[in-house]
Amino acid sequence: MVSWFRAFAPAGRRRPPGGGRRDRDALLAVAFGALLVLPPVSGLFVIPLAVVAALCGWSSRRVRFGGLAVLAAVVAGAVAPLVSAVSLQDVLVMAGLDVCFGVLPWLVAVAWRARRASTEAAAAAVEQGERVRRHEAEAALARERMLLAEELHDDLGHALSLVALNLGRLELEPGIEESRRDSIAASRRQVADAVARLGASVEVLRSGRSPALASRHRHIDLDELMADARAAGAVIEVAGQPSPARVAGFGAATVFRVMQEGVTNAVKHAPRKPVTVRFDDAGDRLRIVVTNELPAGYGRTGDEVGYGLLALGERVRLAGGTVETTDSDVFTLSVMLPREGTVAADRPASVRQAPNEVRRARRRSTALIWAAALVPVVAVGCIAVAVQLLTMQQAREAKLEPAVFARIEPGDARVEVEPLLPAGELDRDDDPPAGGDCSYYAVTSNPLDDASGDYYRICFDGGVVVSADLLSAGHG
C-alpha cells in the first residue's frame, strides 16, 4: 500500500534518493550547533553534547554540516560579548568546554569514519588491481598455451607416432625371438599410451581446463604403474600404499604423477639400484617418500635441476603441498599432499594479511585520528592561556592597594570613597548583603602570589559604605 501510494504521489512531493539521510544529517548538525551555542544549565550538559557530536561526525557523510555547526558556534561566541553583558572571559571558558566535549568527539568521529573509508577504498583498489593483473596474466597464459599446444601437436606428437609405427613394424618382423617381441610390444604400447596422454595434455592446453581433467583420458592405476616399471627392469618396494578410494581423496592424478616422476627419476639416474616407495597417511596429510641409492661418483653439476622435478614441484604447490629432495648417498624425494578441500583453511596467515597498500592507508588514517585529537588539545591550551592573560589583565586594572582598602570603613560617604578605587572591577557574582550595591577588586595581579584569587568586596547602600570585606578565592 505504501509503495502504491508513493508511486502515484505528485512528482513535486516525492523525496529524492538519499533525502532521508540528508535530513537526518541536517538534524544532527542543528542539534550539535544548538548545544555548542546555548549556555549550559548544569555540568551534565557535556554528556548530550559529546553524544550528539560523536553521532554527527560518525553517521553523517556530509562533514560540512558539522563544520557549519562549529562555525555558527564560533560566530555566536564572537558576537556575544558585543551584544550582551557576557564577558570575553566567560565566552572563552565556554569555548574551552565546547572544544573538549563537542569539537573533539566530532573530529575524532570524522577521522575514524575517514579511516574506515580510506581502508575500504585501498582494499578495493588492491582487489581491482589484482583482478586486472590476473586478467592480463590469464590472457598471456592463454596465448602461451596455444603456442605450446601447436608445437607439441606438430613436433612431439608426430615424432612419437613415427616411433610407435616403427615399433609396430619391428614387432611384426619375422625371425625375432619371442622375448624380444614381447619387449617391443610393451614398448609400442607405452609409446601409444604416451601419445594418448600427449593428446589429452594438448587438449588441456588448448581449452584451459584443469590438468586434473586430463586424467580422465587415461586409466590411473598405481599397481599397474609399478608393474610396468618392474617389467622394464626396475627393482621397486612399496610400503603402506593406501586404498584407491583413499588415494582419490588426495588427488589420484597428483599421487600418480608423484610416483611416476619418483620412479622415473630413480631409474634414470641410478639404473639397477633398488627403489623404495613409502606412504605415510596422517589423516588429512599424505606423505610419499621415494628413495634410491645413488651410484658411485654421482653428483649434479652446477645448478642442474631436472625439469620433471621442477614441474612436479609446481603441480604439488598448486595442490597445497610441499616437495623436498636430498641427494647425498641416497636420493630422497619427499612429497606432502593435503587432503582435497583443506588447502584454503591451511593457508598461512601471511597470505591472509592485508596488502601493504591497505596497511599504509590504515597508518595514514591513524595519523589523521591523532591529528584530529591534537587540534582540539592545542585549541584548549590556547584558550587556557588566553583566559589566564585576560584574568591577569583584569586583575591589574582592578587591583586595590591594601593601604587604600584599610582606609575604607563602613559609614564612609560613597563620593569620598569612589575616587580612591581603581577604574576597573573584577567580574564576580557572590552573595552580597541584602540591598547592597557591591564592587569587587583584586588583592594582587601576580598569579604566583599566595593571595592570587582573593578579592575585596565593597558594598554601598544609600550613598554610604555598608561593608568592606576581604574574601578568599573559595568564598561563595
- Comparing 125-139, 236-250, 263-277, 303-317, the range with the smallest average pLDDT is 303-317
Q: How far apart are the first and last CA of the chain?
A: 65
pLDDT at site 197: 72
Number of neighbours of residue 350 by Cβ within 10 angstroms: 6
Distance, CA of 316 to CA of 338 (rounded, Å): 10
- The CA radius of gyration of the chain, in Å to the nearest whole number, is 46
Number of neighbours of residue 79 by Cβ within 10 angstroms: 11
**Per-residue pLDDT reduced to its tens digit, 47-99:** 888 888 888 877 766 677 777 888 888 787 777 777 776 767 777 777 788 88
435: confidence class by pLDDT, cuts 50, 70, 90: low
Distance, CA of 253 to CA of 255 (rounded, Å): 6
211: confidence class by pLDDT, cuts 50, 70, 90: low
Long-range contacts of 465-472 (CB under 8 A, 24+ apart): 465/408, 465/409, 465/410, 465/411, 465/412, 465/413, 465/414, 465/417, 466/410, 466/433, 466/436, 467/410, 467/433, 467/436, 468/405, 468/408, 468/409, 468/410, 470/405, 470/443, 471/430
More confident residue, 19 or 424: 424
Please report, rounded to a whole number, the percentage of residues in the chain having pLDDT higher than 70.
Answer: 75
Give the residue-averaged pLDDT of 276-303: 80
- Partners of 459 in beta bridges: 438, 467
pLDDT at site 239: 92
pLDDT at site 238: 92
pLDDT at site 13: 45
More confident residue, 157 or 48: 48
Grid coordinates representing 153 are: 601437436
Please give the full DSSP string across 442-474, using - where no structure is assigned: ES-S-TTSTTTT-EEEEEEETTEEEEEEEE-TT
Phi, psi of 282 (to 5 degrees): -110, 25
pLDDT at site 337: 92
**Per-residue pLDDT reduced to its tens digit, 171-191:** 777 777 777 777 777 777 777
277: confidence class by pLDDT, cuts 50, 70, 90: very high
- Comparing 88-92, 378-382, 455-459, the range with the smallest average pLDDT is 88-92
SS3 439: strand
More confident residue, 440 or 10: 440
pLDDT at site 36: 80
Please give the full DSSP string across 374-385, using - where no structure is assigned: HHHHHHHHHHHH
- Comparing 59-68, 250-259, 352-361, 464-473, the range with the smallest average pLDDT is 352-361
- Comparing 271-275, 367-371, 378-382, the range with the smallest average pLDDT is 367-371
- Partners of 286 in beta bridges: 281, 337
Q: Which residue has the cell 584443469?
A: 210
205: confidence class by pLDDT, cuts 50, 70, 90: low
More confident residue, 142 or 31: 31
Give the residue-averaged pLDDT of 266-277: 83
Rounded to the nearest 5 percent, the helix, strand and coil shares of the chain are 60, 10, 25
Grid coordinates representing 239 are: 610400503
DSSP 177: -
Alpha helices in 19-103 (DSSP H): 19-37, 46-59, 63-83, 88-98
Give the residue-averaged pLDDT of 360-369: 72
pLDDT at site 212: 47
More confident residue, 10 or 220: 220
User: Which helix (H) or strand (E) is 437 found in, with range?
Assistant: strand 437-442
- Sheet holding 455-461: strands in order across? 437-442, 455-461, 464-471
- Sheet holding 236-239: strands in order across? 236-239, 275-281, 285-293, 330-338, 322-327
276: confidence class by pLDDT, cuts 50, 70, 90: very high
Grid coordinates representing 163 are: 616411433
366: confidence class by pLDDT, cuts 50, 70, 90: confident
Q: At what angle do helices 46-59 and 19-37 cross, to 10 degrees?
A: 150
257: confidence class by pLDDT, cuts 50, 70, 90: confident
pTM: 0.41
More confident residue, 6 or 423: 423
